[in-house]
Amino acid sequence: MTMIVWDEKKYGVGHELLDKQHKQLVTLINEFCEHMSLDTHSEILHDTLQSLHHYAQEHLKFEEKLLGEMGFDNLENHIKSHTDYLEMVTELSME
């Protein structure tokens, strides 16, 4: 599996805390992908996915609040993309 390499120009949003959180999400996604490619024990995969899901929930809640305070133009669609992402991660954790 191909790992995500953080690229400030591609992924950075120009907000120090959001970029830091996004980097952490990339790290967690890469850990999960690494475990998948190594055919790691299912319990470790599950734990890694749970960590990713928990961190993503906290981050997305923070991001949505911040974007709302900033008057972000396309907030409804952005929140929908977050909801879709969390549903996908939830489905993966049930497999």
pLDDT in tens, 30-70: 998 888 888 767 888 888 889 999 999 999 999 999 999 99
pTM: 0.85
- Rounded CA-CA distance 82/63 in Å is 10
Q: Are 82 and 64 in contact (CB under 8 A)?
A: yes
